[in-house]
Amino acid sequence: MMYQILDLPPNMIGFKAEWKVTKKDFEEVVIPCVEKHVEKMGQINYMLVLKTSVRNFTFFAWIKDALMGLRHITKWNRAAIVSDSKIIKLFTKIFSILIPGEFRAFSHKEIKSAINWVSKGIL
């Protein structure tokens, strides 16, 4: 399941992934919220808190996520991935080289730092 995190600064959007994440989660939760955010802000300041393994994302969830990212490829400003996984941290570092915008990984203990960093993206 993907849940929108509501108590964030207004210039950012965030989601928490728990248990199994499906295509439906992206279609009904993530994509509509991101579309509204892009329309309002003109850029994407994004945080994803992973409370589940990426293995729990279905294939079609990954496809929807990739398509969303590509659709707004020039809109990415800052994105934080919150996870204690070393693989996720490495993937985020590699991703930051390939995609426009700034991407950083934070541990779960650093969630407040992640919010502060992402929210400084648009002043």
Asked if 81 and 50 touch (Cβ cutoff 8 Å), the reply is: yes
Residue 95 belongs to domain spanning: 2-119
- The conformational region for residue 48 under phi > 0 = left, psi -120 to 50 = alpha, else beta, is beta
Into how many domains does the chain fold? 1
Q: How does DSSP classify residue 26?
A: I
Supply the pLDDT for residue 123: 43
> CATH number of the domain that 39 lies in?
3.30.750
The fraction of the chain above a pLDDT of 70, given in percent, is: 80
Q: Structure pTM? A: 0.83
Q: What pLDDT is attached to residue 94?
A: 75
- Judge contact between 61 and 23, C-beta under 8 A: yes
Residue, of 29 and 71, whose pLDDT is higher: 29
70 or 58: which carries more pLDDT confidence? 58
